[in-house]
Amino acid sequence: MKKIFALFLLSALGLFAQAETVKLGGRGTLTVFIGDNWSIEAADFGDRRIIKITPKGTNVNAHGELTVTFPETDRFDTKARLKMRVEIDAMKFAEQSVEGKARAKEFSLGSGYGYYCSFTDPDLIGKPPQEGNFKTIIVGIIRLAADVVVEVSINADGFTSAPYNELLGA
């Protein structure tokens, strides 16, 4: 029986207007839900699927990306291993951030488990938004199954901004 995986990225109001379903071969599908003020573009590269989420208008400075991979070996069979990997991978952002350290937080998911780290660019604090230059970023990994892993990246101009929360699914 095929497994169906759903990752819900809902608008801040909890409403969604569009869905993108990505086929994962024999592993089922991944469906991304997002508000109608966003564009979703999915690409199949055989060994991975990349889903890019961008705003439709130019007045929003945010971007989300999901990279779905299919590891042959389950390197994240425990939450502790996944959390450690996320923190190690995030160190490159931590050194240049306000936070100074990678502290993984757990995603709230219906199935699977995952962690992410949040960072703020100290050079952009207090400055007006600049298109394509983001004040905040989160990077993380979600393990949906032993052979389905999703790398997550969300860029925005603040952790409390509406675009950030829409992408995160708050």
* pTM: predicted TM-score of the whole model, two decimal places: 0.85
Strand partners, 10: none
∠ CA 14-19-20, nearest 5°, is: 140
pLDDT at 7: 40
Measured CA to CA, the distance from residue 96 to residue 99 in angstroms comes to 8
Q: Tell me: the pLDDT tens digits for 26-67? A: 888 888 888 888 999 999 998 999 999 999 977 889 999 999
CATH fold, domain 4-168, is Jelly Rolls (2.60.120)
Measured CA to CA, the distance from residue 102 to residue 117 in angstroms comes to 6
Q: Tell me: the pLDDT tens digits for 32-43? A: 888 888 999 999
**Would you say the C-alpha torsion 112, 48, 158, 126 has a positive or negative sign?**
positive
Going by the DSSP 8-state scheme, the letter that residue 122 receives in this structure is: G
Confirm if 142 and 66 have CB atoms less than 8 A apart: no
Confirm if 38 and 16 have CB atoms less than 8 A apart: no
Measured CA to CA, the distance from residue 99 to residue 158 in angstroms comes to 14
Q: Tell me: the pLDDT tens digits for 123-141? A: 998 898 888 899 999 999 9
Measured CA to CA, the distance from residue 10 to residue 88 in angstroms comes to 28
Report phi then psi at 163, rounded to 5. -60, -40
Confidence of residue 2 (pLDDT cuts 50, 70, 90): very low
Q: Tell me: the pLDDT tens digits for 57-104? A: 778 899 999 999 999 999 999 999 999 999 999 999 999 999 999 999
Confidence of residue 1 (pLDDT cuts 50, 70, 90): very low
Confidence of residue 17 (pLDDT cuts 50, 70, 90): low
- Which amino acid appears at position 142 of this protein? I
Measured CA to CA, the distance from residue 106 to residue 32 in angstroms comes to 19
Alpha-carbon separation of residue 162 from 12, 13, 70, 126 (angstroms): 7, 10, 32, 18
